[in-house]
């Protein structure tokens, strides 16, 4: 599979552990790809839920996916600052159809004031029972929550203001070509 290039548009699909499609984002612009990571941006992007409901993202958001970490990061650029929504999820893979990953319910939200909140713990526990997440998977996900919080605390990668500025600036350049 050939990697998408800067300026290409891709589809992103999230699935649940049982293989059911969870959510689809259309036309995410690719800003950078490497062997292990993809950086993109959603800006007024059409999102379709598994029940057919559709909505459009409200603000530009830098998206970060990695092939080794069990999370992905969305940096939402708002008038009052940057907030983050981080999904605990399988490492992504790409095929000719879309960038794909499995969403494991747990989320970490970082507010513009820096407050962190772990979300959807009850949903995670319910799905863990219903879909039979293994002990190994449960361990991997909980360890990746720790890695993610460490990145947040150290303002690593997407959690750096400079990182968001660089990629948003690149998006504006590409959009205005």
User: 67-91 in b/e burial notation, b at 16+ Cβ within 10 A?
Assistant: eebbbbbbbbbeeeebbbbbbbbbb
Structure tokens at 161: 């203001």
Active-site residue, 23 included: yes
Whether 42 has a binding-site annotation, put simply, is no
CB-CB contact of 24 with 48 (8 Å): yes
Whether 103 has a binding-site annotation, put simply, is yes
Whether 107 has a binding-site annotation, put simply, is yes
Catalytic entry in 23, 58, 129, 177: 23
Whether 87 has a binding-site annotation, put simply, is yes
Q: Measure CA of the first residue to CA of the last residue in the chain; give whole Å.
A: 27
CA distances from 66 to 132, 135, 161, 170 (A): 25, 23, 19, 20
CB under 8 Å to 157, separation ≥6 — which residues? 64, 73, 151, 163
The annotated binding site for Mg(2+) is made up of 87, 103, 105, 107, 120, 123
Active site residues: 23
The annotated binding site is made up of 87, 103, 105, 107, 120, 123
């Amino acid at each position: 599979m050939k990697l998408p290039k800067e300026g290409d548009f891709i589809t992103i699909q999230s699935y649940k552990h049982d293989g059911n499609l969870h959510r689809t984002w259309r036309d995410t612009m690719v800003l950078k790809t490497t062997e292990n990571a993809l950086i993109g941006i959603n800006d007024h992007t059409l999102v379709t839920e598994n029940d057919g409901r559709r909505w459009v993202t409200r603000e530009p958001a830098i998206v970060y996916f990695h092939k080794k970490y069990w999370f992905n990061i969305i940096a939402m650029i708002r008038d009052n600052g940057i907030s983050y929504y981080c999904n605990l999820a399988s490492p992504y893979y790409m095929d000719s159809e879309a960038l794909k990953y499995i969403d494991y319910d747990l989320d970490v939200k970082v507010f513009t004031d820096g407050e962190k909140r772990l979300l959807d713990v009850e949903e995670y526990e319910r799905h863990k029972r219903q879909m039979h997440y293994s002990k190994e998977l449960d361990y991997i996900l909980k360890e990746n929550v720790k890695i993610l919080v460490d990145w947040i605390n150290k303002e690593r990668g997407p959690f750096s203001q400079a990182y968001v500025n660089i990629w948003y600036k690149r998006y504006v350049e590409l959009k205005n070509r």
